Structure 1
Amino acid sequence: MKSRNLKTNIILSFFAVISILVVSVAILGYYIINRNVIQRAQRQIKNDLKVARWAYNTEIDRIRLAFNLVGPSNDLERLKGQIGLDYISVVDKNDLPAIKSEVVRAAFEGKALAATRIIGPEELKEMGRSLYEKSVIEIKPTAKARPTEIHILDSAMAVGYAKPLFDNAGHVRAVMYGGKIINRDAELVDKIRSFVFENQMYEGRPTGTVTIFLDDVRIATNVLDKNGERAIGTRVSATVYKKVVEEGRTFLDRAFVVTDWYLTAYEPIRNIEGKVIGILYVGILEKPFVDMRRNVFLVFFGIVVLASLLAVILGLVLAQGMARPLTRLLEAAGRFSKGDLSHRIGMFNSRVREIDVLAEAFNDMAAKIDEREKRLEALNKELEALNKSYLDLVGFVSHELKGILSSTIMNAYTVRDGFLGMVNFKQRKALDSIARNLDYLEATVKNFLNLSRLEKGELAVSKSEVLLKENIVDPSLEAFGRQATDKEMQVVNDTAAGLKVMADVDLLQIVVNNLIGNAVKYGQRGGILRVSAEIRNGTAHVEVYNDGKPLAQDEIDKLFRRFSRLKSEETRNVQGTGLGLFVSKEIIEKHGGWIWVEARPKGNAFVFEIK
Structure 2
Amino acid sequence: MPEAAPLLRRSVRHKLLAIALIPVLVILPLFLGVTLYQWSHKLDRLLLVKVNSDLTVARQYLGRILDTTGERIEMLARSEEFARTTDPGALLETYRDRLGLDYLYLAAPDGRIVASSPEDAHPVPPRNPAPAQGAWNTLEVFDRDQLYAIAPALAVRAEMERPGSAAASRSSIETRGIVAQSIVAAKLPGEDAAASMVGGILLNRNLSVVDSINALIYRSDSLPEGSHGTTSLFLDDLRIATNVTVPGGARALGTRASTAVRDRVIGQGQVWLDRAQVLDDWYVSAYAPLRDGAGRPVGMIYVGILEHPFAAAKRRTVGWVLIGFLSVALVTVPLFLRWARSIFRPLERIGATFEKVGAGDLAARTGISRGDDEIAELALALDGVLAQLQDHDRQMRAWNDELNQKVEDRTAALRRAAQELEAATYQLVQSEKLAALGEISAGIAHEINNPLAVIQGNLDVLREVLGDAATPADTELRLIDDQIRRISLIVTQLLDFARADQAGEDHPATDLAQAVAECVPLVGHMLARSSVSLRQDIRSDRPVRISRIAVQQVLVNLIVNAVHAMPKGGEIRIAGQDEDRAGAAGVLLEVADDGEGIPAAILKNLFEPFVTSRAGSGGTGLGLSICRRLIERQGGTIAVSSDNGGSTFRIWLPAA
Superposition TM-score, scaled by structure 1 size: 0.51
Structure showing greater radius of gyration is: 1
2:209 is the counterpart of 1:188: yes
2:341 is the counterpart of 1:320: yes
2:220 is the counterpart of 1:228: no
Partner residue of 1:79? 95
Partner residue of 1:54? 60
Partner residue of 2:129? 106
Q: How do 1:227-306 and structure 2 match up within 5 A? A: 227-290=248-311, 293=314
**What runs of 5+ residues in structure 1 fail to find an aligned partner?**
366-611
Q: CA deviation at 1:96?
A: 4.8
Distance change (3 Å), C-alpha of 1:78 and 1:7? same
Preserved CA contact (<8 Å) 2:74 2:134: no
Q: C-alpha offsets along residues 533-556 of structure 1, whole Å, 9 cap, x if unaligned? A: xxxxxxxxxxxxxxxxxxxxxxxx
Distance (Å, rounded) in 1 between the aligned partners of 2:199 and 2:341: 88
Q: C-alpha offsets along residues 219-241 of structure 1, whole Å, 9 cap, x if unaligned? A: 11111223432121122222222
Distance (Å, rounded) in 2 between the aligned partners of 1:205 and 1:316: 46
Q: How do 1:96-135 and structure 2 match up within 5 A? A: 96=112, 100-102=124-126, 105-107=128-130, 112-135=135-158
Partner residue of 2:49? 43
- Which one-letter code corresponds to 2:152 in the other structure? R
**What runs of 5+ residues in structure 2 fail to find an aligned partner?**
1-6, 83-87, 114-121, 358-362, 390-656
Q: C-alpha offsets along residues 412-459 of structure 1, whole Å, 9 cap, x if unaligned? A: xxxxxxxxxxxxxxxxxxxxxxxxxxxxxxxxxxxxxxxxxxxxxxxx
Q: C-alpha offsets along residues 154-191 of structure 1, whole Å, 9 cap, x if unaligned? A: 11101121221136999752222211111111111111
The DSSP-based 3-state class of the residue aligned with 1:164 is strand
2:28 is the counterpart of 1:22: yes
- Which one-letter code corresponds to 1:354 in the other structure? L
Distance change (3 Å), C-alpha of 1:317 and 1:357? farther
Distance (Å, rounded) in 2 between the aligned partners of 1:321 and 1:35: 44
Distance (Å, rounded) in 2 between the aligned partners of 1:307 and 1:204: 31
Q: C-alpha offsets along residues 544-602 of structure 1, whole Å, 9 cap, x if unaligned? A: xxxxxxxxxxxxxxxxxxxxxxxxxxxxxxxxxxxxxxxxxxxxxxxxxxxxxxxxxxx
Distance (Å, rounded) in 2 between the aligned partners of 1:168 and 1:80: 17
- Which one-letter code corresponds to 1:75 in the other structure? L
Distance (Å, rounded) in 2 between the aligned partners of 1:196 and 1:319: 59
Distance (Å, rounded) in 1 between the aligned partners of 2:202 and 2:171: 21
The DSSP-based 3-state class of the residue aligned with 1:102 is coil
- Which one-letter code corresponds to 2:284 in the other structure? L
Q: 2:240 aligns with which of 190, 195, 219?
A: 219
Partner residue of 1:175? 196
Distance (Å, rounded) in 2 between the aligned partners of 1:319 and 1:130: 86
Q: CA deviation at 1:48?
A: 0.7
Preserved CA contact (<8 Å) 2:224 2:309: no
The DSSP-based 3-state class of the residue aligned with 1:231 is coil
Preserved CA contact (<8 Å) 1:332 1:345: no
Q: CA deviation at 1:51?
A: 0.3
Distance (Å, rounded) in 1 between the aligned partners of 2:387 and 2:152: 109
Partner residue of 1:351? 373
Q: CA deviation at 1:14?
A: 1.6
Q: CA deviation at 1:317?
A: 5.5
Distance (Å, rounded) in 2 between the aligned partners of 1:287 and 1:229: 21
Distance (Å, rounded) in 1 between the aligned partners of 2:364 and 2:329: 44
Distance (Å, rounded) in 2 between the aligned partners of 1:233 and 1:166: 41
Q: CA deviation at 1:267?
A: 0.7
Percent identical among aligned pairs is 24
Distance (Å, rounded) in 2 between the aligned partners of 1:109 and 1:69: 14
Count of aligned pairs between the two proteins: 363
Q: CA deviation at 1:307?
A: 7.4
The DSSP-based 3-state class of the residue aligned with 1:158 is strand
The DSSP-based 3-state class of the residue aligned with 1:218 is strand
Q: CA deviation at 1:68?
A: 3.4
Partner residue of 2:74? 68
Preserved CA contact (<8 Å) 1:184 1:220: yes
Preserved CA contact (<8 Å) 1:207 1:284: yes
- Which one-letter code corresponds to 1:351 in the other structure? D
Distance (Å, rounded) in 1 between the aligned partners of 2:323 and 2:99: 58
Q: C-alpha offsets along residues 300-321 of structure 1, whole Å, 9 cap, x if unaligned? A: 7788778767864773464133
Superposition TM-score, scaled by structure 2 size: 0.48
Q: CA deviation at 1:207?
A: 1.8
Preserved CA contact (<8 Å) 1:216 1:241: yes
Q: How do 1:348-497 and structure 2 match up within 5 A? A: 348-352=370-374, 353-357=377-381
Distance change (3 Å), C-alpha of 1:264 and 1:172? farther
Partner residue of 1:393? none
Distance (Å, rounded) in 2 between the aligned partners of 1:358 and 1:15: 27
Q: CA deviation at 1:125?
A: 1.2
The DSSP-based 3-state class of the residue aligned with 2:171 is coil
Distance change (3 Å), C-alpha of 1:335 and 1:90? closer
Preserved CA contact (<8 Å) 2:227 2:308: no
Distance (Å, rounded) in 1 between the aligned partners of 2:168 and 2:259: 9
Preserved CA contact (<8 Å) 1:202 1:288: no
- Which one-letter code corresponds to 1:315 in the other structure? F
